[in-house]
Each structure stands twice: as structure tokens, then as C-alpha cells.
Amino acid sequence: MTTTSPRLYFWNSPHRGKILGWLLGVLVLGLTTIGLKMHLTFLGWAPSLVFTFGTFASVAVIIAAAIALLRLAERSGNRTTIVASAIFVFVYSALAVPTFIADIKSENDRYAESLREQASGQFLAGLFSTPAPLWFRAFILLCILAPLAIWIRAFVVYSRGHPARESTKETPRAQAEPVAESGIRVRCRSCRSLNAESAKFCSECGTQL
């Protein structure tokens, strides 16, 4: 019996397109989220109401990537894609979430330092005077957690597929049961029609057997 290497199995797998789609979607969401934050909070400033073209482009790419991953999640009903995409999603989340928390702490520290510089009258005091507001931080966190939430949806869809497979395994047994009962028939006294041995009422007139 010949064994196939994992690398060769991946390239020969019919699901490699979905796996690469997950990898590309996670990378695009991650990199675009970083780009959006740089557009709006460069040098620690609060998001400006004057949105640039880069801001609109970043938001559009984030939405498009999230929709693409949602569509991909609905079609990832196989174990190979679920396991491979889990690796991408959980590694990305394990790196992105601590980085996001550290970035918030850095903004708060720079804000406190800016207040001290402003009080002492130093040059360029107040450059980092306003950290990102809560709504913007929540939006960035939502973008970061989007791949994980979409993967959970794909896992739920994959898990719901199992009962269907189990029911298909039981169909031959269910089809065999009437065959086992077909040897003995009970005749109804009222309408003289034949019924299964286990029947309690006539299938034609409803009379108790």
C-alpha cells in the first residue's frame, strides 16, 4: 500500500481551491485592517471625519473579503477544508488579537505622555493627544475577529451535515423492514383487504384487526 505525502496530497486534493481561498481571505482581511488603521489613526490621531480614498478602498476590500469568506464557508462541507482553514484562522487570531491589545495600550501610554508634555510646555506637545475612540476600536476588533466568526459558521454547517450522512446509512435498513413483513398478511373481516401482520387497523377501511 503506497502512502501519499501531505504536500502531494494537498496539490492533488479537489479542495485545494477552497483551502487557498481561506488563506487568501484571511491574509486580505488582516492586511487591509492594518491598512485601514494606518489611514485613520496615523501617528495615533483620532479618526478624522474627512475620509480619504484609501479609507474607502480599505473598507470596501474588508467587506468584499468578508462576503467572499462567508460564501466559502457555506461550501466548506468537508473535513480537509475545515482542518486546513482552522490552522490559518487560529494562527491569525492568536497573532492579531494580542497585537491589537498591545496597540491599544501603546495609544493610551502615548496619550498619557502627551498630557505630561503638554503640561511641561514641550515642543510638539499634543501630537498624540487623542487616542482612537471606542467605536473605532470596536470596528477594528470586529474586522480582526471576522475570520474566526466565519470559520465557526463553516464548522456549524459542516457539523449539521453529519446527521444527514447518518440518516442515509439507515435507509437500507428502513427499506428492508417492509420486505421482512411482506411474508405474512392479515385479511380484514370487513373489506377483505390484506394488511401487514403488525398492523392494528385496516389500511383500506380503518376497521380494527
Over residues 48-90, the pLDDT tens digits come to 545 667 778 888 999 999 999 999 988 887 888 899 999 999 9
Measured in whole angstroms, how far is the alpha carbon of residue 80 from the centre of its chain? 15
> Is 175 a residue whose pLDDT tops 70?
no
Place of cell 496539490: 11
pTM for this one?
Answer: 0.61
Are 61 and 45 within 8 A, CB to CB?
Answer: no
What is the average per-residue pLDDT within 142-146?
92
> Is 16 a residue whose pLDDT tops 80?
yes
Least confident of 116-130, 163-177, 189-203: 163-177
Amino acid at 78: N
How much is the pLDDT for 152?
Answer: 93
C-alpha cell, 193: 383487504
> Which letter does DSSP use for residue 49 in this model?
S
What is the average per-residue pLDDT within 115-119?
74
What is the average per-residue pLDDT within 92-114?
85
Q: Distance (Å, rounded) from C-alpha 192 to C-alpha 62?
A: 72
| DSSP notation for 180-209 | HHTT-EEE-TTT--EEETT-SB-TTT--B-
Q: pLDDT over 90 for what percent of the chain?
A: 23
Angle at 148 between CA 154 and CA 103, to 5 degrees: 170
Are 181 and 198 within 8 A, CB to CB?
Answer: yes
How much is the pLDDT for 174?
Answer: 43
Q: Distance (Å, rounded) from C-alpha 27 to C-alpha 178?
A: 55
Query: Count of CB atoms within 10 A of residue 132's CB?
Result: 20
Query: Count of CB atoms within 10 A of residue 67's CB?
Result: 12
C-alpha cell, 195: 394488511
Are 76 and 89 within 8 A, CB to CB?
Answer: no
Query: Count of CB atoms within 10 A of residue 95's CB?
Result: 12
What is the average per-residue pLDDT within 104-130?
71
The structural domains of the chain, with segments of one domain joined by +, span 6-180
In Å, the largest CA–CA distance within the chain is: 109
Least confident of 74-78, 114-118, 166-170: 166-170
> Is 167 a residue whose pLDDT tops 60?
no
